[in-house]
Amino acid sequence: MKFMKKNKTIVIVGIVCLILLVLMGLAIYRMFYPSNESVYGDRLDNAPEIDNAVIEQIKNKITDTGLIEEVKYETNVAVMKFFISVKDSTKLEDAQKLSDIILETLSTKVINFYDIEVYLTNENNEQYPSIGYHSKSASSFSWINNVGEEDEE
């Protein structure tokens, strides 16, 4: 007790340093051993399942139009992405109408949860690339054409 009364400042600084060391140890532990929670938090808790059969059905319907060469699909968190490579002779308006096939085929639950992006590309046609975006709260796609063509010089 004499030591504590005689050296109050040293004791207080020592206690503060001890508390900081414990907190730093906890922070380092959490950094190296994170919790098992999802990286995306609870954003995907109520996400409807996207059936692979439905995605294949969309790809087949789009391919059957004869306007495209290839369709690729990806999903990232709450965004569905369709990469469509169109034929040289395909008009931009006709290619953009392919997005209606996606909306007609997907369930209302999926459309109301996921944002949908459609990337239309063709190396040999000046009208492309074109990007279509459908927000989960929108009724139709909005389109941007020739993205980055003028700025790349």
* pLDDT level of residue 39 (50, 70, 90 thresholds): low
Per-residue pLDDT tens over the stretch 72-122: 999 888 889 999 998 888 888 888 888 888 888 888 888 888 899 999 988
Share of the chain above pLDDT 70, in %: 89
Mean pLDDT over 133-147 rounds to 83
Query: Taking the domains of the chain in order of start, what are their residue ranges?
Result: 2-32, 52-145
Q: Which CATH architecture has domain 52-145?
A: 2-Layer Sandwich (3.30)
Mean pLDDT over 118-138 rounds to 86
The closest of 61, 46, 57, 62 to 114, measured between CA atoms, is: 46
> How far is the C-alpha of 64 from the C-alpha of 100, rounded, in Å?
14
Global pTM exceeds 0.75: no
